[in-house]
Chains A and B, each alone.
Chain A
Amino acid sequence: MGAIATAFGLVFDPYVLAIIMGSAVFGMFVGAMPGLTATMATALLVPVTFFMAPVPALGAIVTATAMAIFAGDIPAAMLRMPGTPASAAYADESYEMTKKGQLDLCMGVNLVFSVLGGIFGVAILVLLAPVLAEVAINFSSFEYFWLACLGLTCAVFIGTGDPLKGLLSLFIGLAIGTVGIDPAAGQPRFTFGNVDLLSGINFIPTLIGMFAVSELLRGAVTMEATGARIQQAVGNMFAGLGAVARRYWKNFIRGSVIGTVIGALPGAGADIAAWVSYAVSKKMSKEPEKFGTGHIEGIVDSTSANNSALGGAWIPALVFGIPGDSITAIVIGVLYMKGMNPGPTVFLQTPELIYAVFIIFILANLLMFPLGWVAIKSAKQILRVPRNILLPVILIFCMVGSFAMTNSLYGVVLMVVMGVFGWLLEEHGIPVAPLILGLVLGEMLEQNFMSSMIKASGSFVGFLDRPIAGTLGVLTMLLWAMMAWKALPFGRRQPVAA
């Protein structure tokens, strides 16, 4: 009980509350701007949070991402441009509603079910994480090795459209992670005699490069699409909500469950949760023919799902130190930098920190209601901020943020190199999210792999000897076999389109 009281004390501190409020406004803005994603919001926030204590730092990230995922719904409905990829699944549907004059209802549903979905995800996180942590406390390097393998495999398998390119991206990320001093023997690797590279590829400039700079490069060539204008004013958002809630409460539950589960699976985040739950909603609906014509049903499912995915993604991140999506990958990177190794020991050593994250999560979702209302009402003004002003300003933030991580130009150089590299990868259909996961988990994976190898003296059976390790190992290898089967030409049922 003492830890919970401490946690309340940590969160309800004027400084922390001010940070949460500030990052909430920031998250709303970034989420509502088409082209700026929730991951980018996190990447830009990290240099600022770097100088804070753990609780305000985590609070800023949790709040900003929760707001951004909701705020993405606003331009989706008003302009048919999803503010973040998480709203893309139902952007058309929302826009059809707007065309039918139901913008009010659409916004009301998005707001209320985003809040409820978010709270659902947090509730599962609060209930499940401590229980799982008790199991995880007995894990040895074998279990962690398989868990990391399983997580990374899921990331490639579910999180990407093209598993081969996802796998390549993952290997590249893991390989980038080996730069620097190796964790087992202290041998410098791939440093080319460069002092900066001895400490490894700094995670945050890489992140800013991959998620923000590559976006700026893409934005530079599509600059014309600026200054969107919204015709419809938003009236009373809450009229008719009761009827929707009565009719579609099952959809809300289903969407939230799907969202939380997909969020908890490593590598798949809010965007995939929204796509899947929208598809499930259509399949299970009594009136699937209405989907795509401005029908609220699928929106209830998917808007709940993408917000609940956020909470879900924190389950494996907090319990095992394995991120559930690219946002929690960033969070884990931040925790490592602050000298805290995410994993079950955090629940024992600093439980107040875990409770503080829970409290902030709930607080952020409650705060979403009034702030979201304001954001919807002032959407006209927000969406008028032209991109030709925004992108150069973001560029300055990126460069200063990267500089601040190393206090030298090395950070900026790394950011630019990784930005161009990330841009090239995405141009070739190679997703960058697995790369970031690989970079974050690389050291942990290698450490657990090496100590397992030494403990088992190279015998493969040793990796599967313990019951949980064996189960995880067999599961992982089954997934690998499935992937290999699919990759082979005769394993495929239908030919792929080139």
Chain B
Amino acid sequence: MRFNDAVVGLVFLAIAAAMIAMTFSFPAFPGQQYGPSLFPRILGAGIIGCSVLLMLRGWREHAAGGRWLLLDGWTSQPRRVASFALMLGAMAFYILASEPLGFIPSAMLIQLVLFLWFGVRPLTAVIVAVGMTLLVHWFFSSMMRVPLPRGILDSVL
């Protein structure tokens, strides 16, 4: 998936403009000439400079027959689009579910679903999902003392 450089430039131009606008709310310190807003403003100007050059380049490319949005081959294959979405979905699921469910159930579930979707044999999928989850839990929770969320297994662990 690739937008024309003009679109990319426009997006970063807007972000940089917003960034510079925000620096005006930073307080100035009396007696100090150079405050916390100086460096971000320089960076914002740099981003704007790059964006303008990118937009010029993209505009020329478009005028020469380039498209605004180029899609890769995989975006026309529903299965691959689903794979991509599933990978992202797995991360979103972990963010939403790991606190209430706990690390162990959510990690197992994520691996199991991804394994089965990507065509791992069910038995292998179950063994690896359970084994890896317990291994990671043992390493980070017991060895490294990371407070992984316990969730529904709170009473057991």
Binding site for B on A (CB under 8 A): 48, 51, 164-165, 167-168, 171-172, 174-175, 178, 182, 184-185, 187, 189-190, 213, 216-217, 220-223, 386, 388-389, 391-393, 395-397, 399-400, 403-404, 407, 409, 412-413, 415-416, 419-420, 427-430, 446, 449-450, 453-454, 457-458, 487, 498
Closest 6 CB pairs of A and B: A388-B118, A392-B114, A168-B50, A182-B36, A220-B87, A187-B36
A416 touching B91 by the CB < 8 A rule?
A: yes
Proximity bits, B20-59, A CB within 8 Å = 1, else 0: 0011001101001111101110011011001101100100
Range, interface on chain B: 35 or more
Count of A-B residue pairs with CB < 8 Å:
161
CA distance in complex: A79, B38 (Å): 52
Q: Which of B57, B95, B114 contacts A412 (CB 8 A)?
A: B95
Report A-chain residues with C-beta under 8 Å of the C-beta of B39: 178, 182, 446, 449-450
Chain A CB within 10 Å, residue with most, of B36, B61, B95, B124: B36
CA distance in complex: A213, B95 (Å): 15
B37 to chain A, nearest CB (A): 8
Binding site for A on B (CB under 8 A): 1-3, 5, 8, 12, 16, 19, 22-23, 26-27, 29, 32-36, 38-40, 43-44, 46-47, 50-51, 53-54, 57, 60-61, 64, 66, 74, 80-81, 83-84, 86-88, 90-92, 94-95, 98-99, 103, 107, 110-111, 114-115, 118-120, 124, 128, 132-133, 136, 140, 144-148
Report B-chain residues with C-beta under 8 Å of the C-beta of A446: 39
CA distance in complex: A389, B17 (Å): 44
A168 touching B29 by the CB < 8 A rule?
A: no
Report B-chain residues with C-beta under 8 Å of the C-beta of A178: 39-40, 43
B38 touching A453 by the CB < 8 A rule?
A: yes
CA distance in complex: A15, B120 (Å): 37
Q: Which of A407, A450, A487 contacts B34 (CB 8 A)?
A: A450
User: Closest residue of chain A to B56, judged by CB?
Assistant: A489
Known contacts A185-B36, A416-B95; decide if A386 and B61 are in contact (CB<8 Å).
no
CA distance in complex: A161, B10 (Å): 22
B34 touching A428 by the CB < 8 A rule?
A: no
User: Closest residue of chain A to B129, judged by CB?
Assistant: A392
**Given pairs A395-B110, A446-B39, 7 additional interface contacts (CB within 8 A):** A164-B54, A164-B57, A185-B36, A217-B84, A221-B84, A404-B146, A498-B60
A84 to chain B, nearest CB (A): 22
Q: Which of A168, A175, A223 contacts B40 (CB 8 A)?
A: A175
Report A-chain residues with C-beta under 8 Å of the C-beta of B47: 168, 171-172, 175
Give 19 pairs: A residue, B residue, CB < 8 Å, sorted on A. Answer: A51-B144, A164-B54, A165-B50, A182-B39, A185-B32, A187-B26, A189-B23, A189-B40, A190-B19, A221-B74, A389-B124, A400-B136, A400-B140, A412-B94, A412-B95, A415-B91, A416-B92, A449-B39, A450-B38
CA distance in complex: A430, B51 (Å): 12
Known contacts A395-B87, A397-B136; decide if A388 and B33 are in contact (CB<8 Å).
no
A174 touching B43 by the CB < 8 A rule?
A: yes
A457 touching B50 by the CB < 8 A rule?
A: no
User: Closest residue of chain B to A166, judged by CB?
Assistant: B50
A183 to chain B, nearest CB (A): 9
Report A-chain residues with C-beta under 8 Å of the C-beta of B64: 498
CA distance in complex: A448, B87 (Å): 42
Report B-chain residues with C-beta under 8 Å of the C-beta of A184: 34, 36
CA distance in complex: A391, B145 (Å): 25
B88 touching A168 by the CB < 8 A rule?
A: no
Report A-chain residues with C-beta under 8 Å of the C-beta of B2: 427-429
Report A-chain residues with C-beta under 8 Å of the C-beta of B148: 400, 403
